[in-house]
């Protein structure tokens, strides 16, 4: 099953013009996947129409909601963007509630919990997000329109002052959604967005590596130069592993080998055995112990099994989302956009 998931993932990440380069086995799956895509698209259309004509009831939460979703294949920074927005709300004195489906092992939820520990942010995990939200509202309460307006007025008075929430009441909800479409449709999506509003800002972001920590000591902080001139073995089970490997290659290692699994894959003991076999080959080839590098999602999915990699050192790459200045749109502009969201929805 893992091989099948990996095969489908490789097809999904291949550009249309590169499809002929795939193996005969992979190409044989394309008609079936295309048909499945048509069925899925039709089902979404029917579902949308049922909501539009009132057959399905729309649930509205008592606080403002921001939905964050992918437009392409997974692994493009959706969860880091959720964290970025959550930190902005926290600094503004608002306690956000993050609702996530908790796909597979819930690695994304675990990563958010680790990053947001000690903050007033709350994380609800489950497919029925209406029920999860109701549970959190019942436990902590929520800011009514008057309280939200007071919060916004304080923020509006001095944007340079970092606010601290003095209540556990929830003031906003962030949906960690999973909406994805093929990359070939991005241009069409951009054109549709421009039709709605030509001057709608589009921001570019990137995940910038910041440091490593050791699997056996998550409190440790190692510089990115620790992999310089070393043989590195990149292991990952994320949506788009190529970006992860490319970042490691920029750090100046002697050699980079890689082993990828399907998104959210749980490492098994047999996987560890296979990894060690690859590591021994690297060690024989370069005459030194190679370093294993994994992503934070891989670590949070199951940190204990990675300790079985002894005697090889396993490092976890930590990244931070950054907004790349483009077309006059900067992080300051993005923060201003969030402020406008608060102004419209909190007042």
Determine the Cα–Cα distance for residues 331 and 109; give it in Å rounded to an integer. 25
Q: Residue 294 has which token pair?
A: 């994994």
Instruction: Write the pLDDT tens digit of every residue in 120-151.
Output: 999 999 888 889 999 999 999 988 766 666 66
Q: What stretch of H or E contains 96?
A: strand 95-100
Query: For 185-201, how does the pLDDT look when each residue is reduced to its tens digit (9 = 90+)?
Result: 556 666 666 666 667 77
Task: Give residue 261's Cα distance to chain centre.
Answer: 17
Name all domains of the chain by residue range, CATH numbers in brackets: 2-52 (no CATH), 65-200+326-346 (no CATH), 205-322 (3.40.50)
- The CA-based diameter of the chain, rounded to the nearest angstrom, is 68
pTM value is 0.79
Distance CA 347, CA 332 (A): 22
Q: What is the pLDDT of residue 193?
A: 62
Nearest Cα to 176, choosing from 113, 118, 119, 218?
113
What are the tens digits of pLDDT across the range 1-48?
Answer: 667 777 777 777 777 777 888 888 888 888 888 898 899 889 988 988
Tokens read off for 130:
């209406």
The percent helix, strand, coil of the chain (3-state, each to 5) is 50, 20, 30
Q: What is the pLDDT of residue 163?
A: 44
Band the pLDDT of 72: cuts 50, 70, 90: low
Asked if 73 contacts 135 with a C-beta cutoff of 8 angstroms, the reply is no
- Least Cα distance to 224 among 319, 324, 84 occurs for 319
At residue 253, the pLDDT reads: 96
- Across the chain, mean pLDDT equals 83
Contact between 108 and 297 (Cβ < 8 Å)? yes
Q: Which residue has the tokens 């675990």?
A: 110
152 pLDDT above the threshold of 50: yes
Q: What is the pLDDT of residue 162?
A: 45
């Amino acid at each position: 099953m893992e091989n099948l998931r990996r095969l489908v993932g490789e097809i999904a990440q291949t550009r249309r013009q590169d499809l002929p380069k795939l193996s005969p086995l992979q190409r044989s799956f394309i008609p079936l996947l295309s048909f499945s895509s048509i069925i899925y698209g039709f089902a979404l259309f029917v579902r949308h129409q049922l909501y539009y004509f009132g057959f399905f009831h729309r649930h509205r939460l008592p606080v403002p909601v921001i939905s964050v979703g992918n437009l392409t294949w997974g692994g493009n920074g959706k969860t880091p963007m959720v964290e970025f927005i959550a930190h902005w709300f926290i600094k503004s004195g608002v306690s956000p509630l993050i609702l996530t489906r908790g796909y597979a092992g819930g690695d994304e939820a675990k990563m958010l919990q680790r990053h947001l520990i000690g903050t007033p942010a709350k994380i609800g995990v489950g497919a029925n997000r209406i029920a999860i939200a109701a549970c959190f509202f019942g436990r902590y309460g929520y800011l009514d329109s008057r309280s939200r307006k007071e919060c916004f007025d304080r923020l509006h008075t001095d944007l340079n002052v970092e606010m601290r929430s003095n209540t556990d009441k929830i003031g906003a909800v962030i949906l960690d959604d999973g909406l994805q479409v093929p990359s070939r449709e991005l241009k069409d999506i951009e054109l549709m967005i421009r039709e709605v509003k030509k001057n709608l800002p589009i921001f570019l972001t990137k995940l910038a590596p910041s440091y490593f920590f050791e699997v056996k000591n998550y409190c440790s902080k190692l510089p990115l130069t620790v992999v310089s001139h070393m043989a590195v073995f990149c292991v990952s089970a994320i949506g788009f592993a190529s970006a992860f490997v490319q970042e490691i290659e920029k750090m100046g290692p002697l050699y980079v080998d890689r082993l990828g699994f399907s998104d959210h894959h749980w490492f098994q003991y047999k996987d560890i055995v296979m990894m060690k076999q690859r590591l021994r080959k690297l060690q024989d080839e370069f005459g030194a112990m190679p370093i294993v590098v994994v992503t934070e999602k891989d670590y949070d999915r199951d940190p204990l099994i990675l300790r079985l990699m002894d005697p090889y050192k396993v490092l976890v790459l930590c990244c931070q989302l950054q907004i790349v200045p483009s077309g006059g749109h900067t992080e300051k502009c993005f923060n201003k956009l969030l402020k406008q969201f608060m102004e419209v929805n909190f007042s």
